[in-house]
Amino acid sequence: MSGDKKADIRELTREEIGRFLTGHNEKIFRAGQVYEWLWNKGCQSFEEMTSLPKSLRVLLSGNFSFHVAKPDIEQQSTDGTIKTAFRLHDGLFVEGVMIPSDDRNTACISSQVGCALGCTFCATGALGFTRNLTCGEIYDQVVYIGHLAAGKQSAVSGGLPSRALSNIVFMGMGEPFLNYENVNSAIEKITSVEGLGMSPQRITVSSVGIPRMIRKMAEDNPKWHFALSLHASTDEKRNLLVPFNEKHPLKEIVDALKFYVKQTGKRFTIEYILFKDVNDNLADARDLAVFCKNFPVKINLIEYNAVKSTAYHKPVAAKVKDFIQFLESRNIIVNLRKSRGMDIDAACGQLAGRKIAK
């Protein structure tokens, strides 16, 4: 536990930094320098701000802190996937994953310590909820995993390198829509020309489907992509997999999704994990096809990745093939997403932080 009660410098806007500096008889242009160090160069201490006078660095360190997510433990899979446990300023941990492939490097980012939704197939859900990550803690994961993608072994000052990440998915620990403001703020920093300059079209935010937040997102009309973590197309089955569905059944989610499509004109992705003898038969495929008639969508199918604390199992390959063929016969775009990093508990649904991972 850090015990540092000073405000986190990265919680301030450029304007707030400017007011602080001018209030201490510093030139206003210094605010731009500080902001550049924070969000473009990705520094994690005042000592790294070498273009600032030492007296100014002392002033900043005396009034503000850095609540950074520091890489602590790394595991590398046989398929090249790298999982990093990040230690937070208060001693808690979250995990982020770098997923390499032939044509892209993807960062899977966490948004919360634990998760309050308790999906019965998910290791993170077994942790319960501790707290939201700050904008800076989300951003730190992206910068560090970006350096891993570029073949560097540790994060250094200077933003993302030229061979940086191609994609970012908010599919790690936590429910991003329950930390919407910080997630959105982090994406703004990641995509801003004053930040990392990454295209928002390469970022996907995944949610189990919180109706009021889907509507909020629609009104904001973000440039990033949205994915619905569905997993079952009837309330009876979805209640078992995603207990949150009991509070907000599928009709509420469908109505919110229709609002999203009408408001934005955008297609979204449906994520559907296949569980053996739970949601993998042709009747389930038919229900999913009916659900998809409501909107322009594409489907990412995922074969379940084992989590020790659950009783679910990976589906049989023949049933997966039949499931895909049925959906394609209904002219639905389907992609079977290959699971990566299963041998280090880095695949979808396996992230649980250091306490469980060890």
Q: List, by residue number, the catalytic residues.
A: 95, 348
The dihedral through the CA atoms of 235, 240, 246, 250 has a sign that is: negative
The answer for 128, left when phi > 0, alpha when psi is -120 to 50, beta otherwise, is: left
The C-alpha atoms of residue 132 and residue 123 are separated, in whole angstroms, by 17
Bridge partners, 272 (sequence order): 301
The C-alpha atoms of residue 79 and residue 336 are separated, in whole angstroms, by 18
Q: Where are the beta strands (DSSP E) in the chain?
A: 7-8, 64-65, 70-76, 82-87, 93-100, 105-108, 112-114, 129-132, 167-170, 203-207, 225-229, 268-274, 297-303, 333-337
Distance (Å, whole) CA 192 – CA 334: 32
Among residues 144, 134, 176, 149, the alpha carbon closest in space to that of 73 is found at 144
33 closest CA partner among 20, 50, 55? 50
Backbone angles phi, psi at 347, to 5 degrees: -80, 175
Please classify residue 11 by burial: count the beta carbons closer than 10 Å to its beta carbon, then call 0-12 exposed, 13-18 middle and 19+ buried: middle
N-to-C CA span, the chain: 21
In this structure, the number of other CB atoms found within 10 A of the CB of residue 114 comes to: 20
Angle between helices 180-191 and 211-220 (to 10 degrees): 30
Please state, in angstroms and rounded to a whole number, the distance separating the CA atoms of residues 331 and 337.
Answer: 18
Whole-number Å distance between alpha carbons of 79 and 37: 35
- What are the distances in angstroms from CA 43 to CA 34, 37, 66, 114, 168? 10, 6, 10, 26, 20
Q: Closest Cα to residue 3, out of 84, 68, 82, 89? A: 89
